[in-house]
C-alpha cells in the first residue's frame, strides 16, 4: 500500500482509519503477546493445577473439595455476606446519587473527588481503623457510653465484615450510578411530567430503567471483590470466621497448591455465573433504551 | 425545606462514614502511646522516626518505583494496543476487548494466584520483577480503556487533511492525533499508578519473601500491631494527594466550561 496516499473511503466499521493500517496492526503485537503470556497462560495454569494432584495425574478431587463442610460453609458465608453488602451499598448509594444529582453543581468533578479521596489512603489501614472504631472500648462505644446509649459489640462478627465490605466498596457503587444519573436528559423527565406522570411513575418508568446500566456495573464492582476478599475478613472478622478467600489463601500458605487452585476455579465459576446473570439484565436494560 | 435538610443530613452521614477511619488514622499518627487503644498525648515524634525506619522507607520506595514503572510500561503497551484494536475489524476487536476485560472482572485473588503459578512453573524467582510484571498486567486494561474512547472520538479527516497539506505521517501523528488523545493517555497513566499503589492481593501472591510494598508490610503487621510511623506516613501521603488534587481541580475548574446546565 502506498503510505503517503491517504485512503479516502474508510469503508470498515472501525472509527479511525489511518492510511497505513497494516503497520498499525503491528502495534498490537506487544499487547497480544503480553495478554497471552500473562492472562491466558496463567489461567490455563490454574486450570491445570486445579485438575491434577501432586503426581500430576488428572483428578476432580480438588474441585470436589468444595463439598467439604468447612469449604462449603466458607463459600456460603462469602456469598451471603457479599450479597448483603452489595444490597446495602445499593440502598445507600441510590438515594445519595439522586441527591447529588439534584444539587446542581457547576462541575461534578468536586463530587467525584470527595468520593474517591478516601481511596488514596491504603485500604488495609482504613480497615484497621475500623477495628479501632468498633472495638469493645473503641471510639464508637466511648461515644455511645458518653451519650448514655447501649454499646454495640460487632467486632469479630460477620456484621463487622459486612461493614468493612460496604465501607471499602461503597465508592464503586456511588460513582457508576451517579455517572448515569447526571447523563439522563432533563427533557425526558420533563416530558414524562407533561404527559401526566407523577414523581413515583417518573422514577419507576423513566429514571430507574435509564440508570440500570450504572446499577449493574456498580453491583459487579461491589459484589466480585466482596465475594473474593480475604483481607477484610481477616482484619475485622478475627481468625474464626473464614470466607472463601481466606480458605484459598490458607491452602496456598500451607503449600496445597492443587487444592487451592481447585477452589479458585470454583470461585471463578461462581464469579462468571453471577456476571452472566447480570449481563443478561444489562442487555435487557439496553434493549429498553431503544424505544 | 424539610427535604433539603434531610438531603444535607444524608450526605453528611455518608461523608462521615467515608472519612471517619481517615480521621482516626490521622489522630493516631499524633498519638504518644504506641498502642492503638489509648490516647497518650500529642506528639510529632513518629514523623521524625518515620525517616529513620529503613524498613518502612524501603517499602515506600518499592511501592513508588513499582507504581511509576508499571504505569509507564502499561501506558506504552496499552496505548499501542488501543491504536491497533481500534483499527481492527469487528470480530478480532471483540475478542481482544474480551481478553482485556478478564483481569478487570476476574477476582484479584485468582489473578494473583494464576500469575504466581506461572512464575513458579517458569522457575522465575519471585521478587521485584515478578511483582512488576504482575502490576503491568493488571494496569494495561485501565490504560487501554481510557485511551479507546478518545480514539473513537478522533476525526480521521484531520489526519488526512494534515497529510494533504504536506505533513509526513509521523509529523501529522504528533501534531494532530497525539494532542487529541493525550488526556486519555494521561488519565490512563494516573489510573494505572493509583491501582498499582493501592494493590494488595496480587502483590501478596507474586512478591516472594524478600520485598515488601506498603500494603504487604501493613498486612504482616496487622497481627503484631501496626507501627505508629505507618500512620504518620499515610497521613503525609494523604495530605500530599489532597493538595495535589485540589491544585489540579482548581486549574481544571478555571479552564472548563461547566458540564451541566
CA separation for the pair B143, B149 (Å, rounded)? 11
- Are A11 and A89 within one domain? no
| Predicted TM-score (pTM) above 0.90 | no
pLDDT of residue A61: 86
Cβ count near A208 (within 10 Å): 13
Report which of residues A208 and B35 the model is more confident about.
A208
- Dump pLDDT digits (tens) for A131-189: 888 988 888 888 888 888 888 888 889 999 999 999 999 999 999 999 899 888 888 88
Q: Which residues of B touch A41 (CB under 8 A)?
A: 118
- Dump pLDDT digits (tens) for B101-159: 888 888 899 999 999 999 999 998 899 999 999 999 999 999 998 998 888 888 878 88
Residue range(s) defining the domain that contains residue A9: 1-50
A34 inside 8 A of chain B by CB: yes
pLDDT of residue B143: 93
- Polymer length in residues for chain A: 291
- Whether residue A45 lies inside any domain: the answer is yes
B44 inside 8 A of chain A by CB: no
- Polymer length in residues for chain B: 261
What is the rounded average pLDDT of the residues A221-240? 90
A120 inside 8 A of chain B by CB: yes
Residue A265 has pLDDT above 60, yes or no: yes
CA separation for the pair A81, A76 (Å, rounded)? 9
CATH assignment at residue A169:
1.10.3720.10
- Are A216 and A113 within one domain? yes
pLDDT of residue B253: 60
Please tell me the total count of domains within chain A. 2
- Dump pLDDT digits (tens) for B162-203: 888 888 888 888 888 888 889 899 999 998 998 898 899 999
- Dump pLDDT digits (tens) for A24-70: 777 788 899 999 999 999 999 999 999 998 888 888 888 888 889 99
- Are A22 and A95 within one domain? no
- Whether residue A279 lies inside any domain: the answer is yes
How would residue A1 be classed by pLDDT, with cut points 50, 70 and 90?
A: very low
Nearest of A36, A201, A153 to residue B102 by alpha carbon: A36
Residue A223 has pLDDT above 50, yes or no: yes
- Are A117 and A206 within one domain? yes
CB A33 within 8 A of CB B190: no
Residue B252 has pLDDT above 70, yes or no: no
- Whether residue A25 lies inside any domain: the answer is yes
- Whether residue A84 lies inside any domain: the answer is yes
Residue A77 has pLDDT above 60, yes or no: yes
Task: Show Cβ contacts of residue B171 under 8 Å, excluding neighbours closer than 6 positions.
Answer: B162
- Are A9 and A142 within one domain? no
CB B50 within 8 A of CB B232: yes
pLDDT of residue B40: 80
CA separation for the pair B219, A209 (Å, rounded)? 42
- Are A280 and A222 within one domain? yes
What is the rounded average pLDDT of the residues A83-107? 88
**A4-18, A244-258, B188-202, B204-218: least confidently modelled range:** A4-18
- Whether residue A104 lies inside any domain: the answer is yes
How would residue A270 be classed by pLDDT, with cut points 50, 70 and 90?
A: confident
User: Average pLDDT of chain B?
Assistant: 87
- Are A182 and A250 within one domain? yes
Distances (CA, A) of B69 to A8, A73, B75, B261: 40, 41, 10, 40
B85 inside 8 A of chain A by CB: yes
Residue A291 has pLDDT above 80, yes or no: no
pLDDT of residue A170: 95
Nearest of A255, A69, A89 to residue A162 by alpha carbon: A89
How would residue A283 be classed by pLDDT, with cut points 50, 70 and 90?
A: low
pLDDT of residue B151: 87
Query: Which residues does residue B42 pair with via DSSP β-bridges, in sequence order?
Result: B31
- Whether residue A55 lies inside any domain: the answer is no
CB-based contact A35 B140, cutoff 8 Å? yes
Residue A5 has pLDDT above 50, yes or no: no
Indicate the class that CATH gives domain B49-255: mainly alpha
pLDDT of residue B114: 94
- Are A70 and A39 within one domain? no
- Are A87 and A111 within one domain? yes
The residue of chain B nearest to residue A167, with distances taken between CA atoms, is: B18
What is the rounded average pLDDT of the residues B233-255? 81
- Dump pLDDT digits (tens) for B49-67: 899 999 999 999 999 999 9
Burial class from Cβ neighbours inside 10 Å (0-12, 13-18, 19+) for residue A265 reads buried
- Whether residue A75 lies inside any domain: the answer is yes
- Whether residue A259 lies inside any domain: the answer is yes
Please report, for chain B, the start and end positions of each structural domain, with discontinuous segments joined by +: 49-255
CB-based contact B18 A171, cutoff 8 Å? yes
pLDDT of residue B259: 43
DSSP H helical ranges for chain B: 2-29, 45-50, 54-86, 90-105, 108-121, 128-153, 156-164, 169-172, 178-198, 201-206, 214-221, 228-255
- Are A95 and A162 within one domain? yes
Best residue of B80, B113, B208, B244 to probe chain A, by most A CBs closer than 10 Å: B113
pLDDT of residue A105: 65
A61 inside 8 A of chain B by CB: no
Task: Show Cβ contacts of residue B177 under 8 Å, excluding neighbours closer than 6 positions.
Answer: B154, B159
Amino acid at each position: 500500500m502506498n503510505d503517503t496516499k491517504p485512503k479516502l473511503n474508510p469503508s470498515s466499521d472501525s472509527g479511525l482509519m489511518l492510511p497505513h493500517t497494516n503497520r498499525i496492526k503491528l502495534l498490537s503485537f506487544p499487547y497480544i503477546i503480553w495478554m497471552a503470556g500473562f492472562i491466558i497462560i496463567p489461567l490455563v495454569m490454574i486450570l491445570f493445577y486445579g485438575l491434577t494432584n501432586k503426581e500430576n495425574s488428572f483428578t476432580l478431587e480438588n474441585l470436589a473439595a468444595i463439598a467439604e463442610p468447612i469449604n462449603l460453609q466458607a463459600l456460603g458465608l462469602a456469598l451471603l455476606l457479599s450479597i448483603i453488602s452489595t444490597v446495602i451499598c445499593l440502598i445507600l448509594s441510590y438515594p445519595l446519587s439522586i441527591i447529588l444529582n439534584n444539587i446542581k453543581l457547576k462541575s461534578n468533578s468536586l463530587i467525584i473527588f470527595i468520593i474517591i479521596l478516601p481511596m488514596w489512603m491504603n485500604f488495609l489501614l482504613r480497615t484497621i481503623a475500623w477495628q479501632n472504631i468498633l472495638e469493645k472500648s473503641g471510639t464508637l462505644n466511648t461515644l455511645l457510653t458518653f451519650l448514655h446509649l447501649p454499646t454495640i459489640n460487632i467486632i469479630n462478627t460477620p456484621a463487622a465484615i459486612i461493614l468493612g465490605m460496604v465501607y471499602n466498596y461503597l465508592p464503586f457503587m456511588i460513582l457508576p450510578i451517579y455517572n448515569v444519573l447526571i447523563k439522563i436528559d432533563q427533557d425526558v423527565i420533563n416530558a414524562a411530567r407533561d404527559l401526566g406522570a407523577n414523581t413515583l411513575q417518573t422514577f419507576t418508568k423513566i429514571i430507574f430503567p435509564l440508570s440500570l446500566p450504572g446499577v449493574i456495573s456498580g453491583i459487579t464492582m461491589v459484589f466480585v471483590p466482596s465475594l473474593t476478599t480475604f483481607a477484610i475478613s481477616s482484619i475485622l472478622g478475627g481468625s474464626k470466621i473464614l470466607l472463601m478467600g481466606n480458605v484459598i489463601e490458607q491452602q496456598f500458605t500451607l503449600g496445597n497448591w492443587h487444592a487451592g487452585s481447585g477452589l479458585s476455579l470454583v470461585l471463578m465459576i461462581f464469579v462468571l455465573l453471577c456476571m452472566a446473570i447480570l449481563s443478561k439484565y444489562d442487555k435487557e436494560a439496553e434493549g429498553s433504551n431503544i424505544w | 425545606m424539610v427535604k433539603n435538610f434531610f438531603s444535607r443530613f444524608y450526605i453528611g452521614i455518608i461523608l462521615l462514614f467515608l472519612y471517619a477511619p481517615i480521621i482516626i488514622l490521622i489522630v493516631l499518627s499524633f498519638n504518644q502511646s504506641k498502642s492503638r487503644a489509648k490516647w497518650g498525648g500529642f506528639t510529632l515524634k513518629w514523623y521524625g522516626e518515620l525517616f529513620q525506619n529503613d524498613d518502612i522507607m524501603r517499602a515506600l520506595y518499592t511501592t513508588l518505583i513499582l507504581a511509576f514503572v508499571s504505569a509507564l510500561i502499561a501506558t506504552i503497551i496499552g496505548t499501542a494496543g488501543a491504536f491497533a484494536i481500534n483499527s481492527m475489524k469487528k470480530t478480532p476487536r471483540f475478542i481482544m476487548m474480551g481478553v482485556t476485560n478478564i483481569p478487570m472482572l476476574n477476582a484479584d485473588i485468582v489473578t494473583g494466584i494464576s500469575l504466581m503459578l506461572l512464575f513458579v512453573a517458569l522457575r522465575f524467582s519471585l521478587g521485584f520483577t515478578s511483582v512488576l510484571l504482575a502490576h503491568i498486567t493488571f494496569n494495561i486494561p485501565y490504560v487501554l480503556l481510557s485511551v479507546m474512547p478518545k480514539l473513537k472520538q478522533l476525526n480521521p479527516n484531520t489526519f488526512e487533511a494534515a497529510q494533504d497539506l504536506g505533513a509526513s505521517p509521523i509529523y501529522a501523528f504528533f501534531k494532530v492525533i497525539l494532542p487529541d488523545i493525550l488526556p486519555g493517555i494521561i488519565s490512563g497513566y494516573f489510573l494505572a499508578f493509583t491501582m498499582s499503589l493501592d494493590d494488595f492481593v496480587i502483590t501478596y501472591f507474586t512478591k516472594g519473601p524478600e520485598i515488601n510494598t506498603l500494603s504487604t508490610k501493613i498486612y504482616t503487621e496487622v497481627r503484631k500491631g501496626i507501627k505508629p510511623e505507618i500512620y504518620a506516613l499515610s497521613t503525609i501521603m494523604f495530605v500530599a494527594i489532597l493538595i495535589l488534587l485540589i491544585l489540579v481541580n482548581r486549574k481544571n475548574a478555571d479552564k472548563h466550561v461547566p458540564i451541566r446546565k
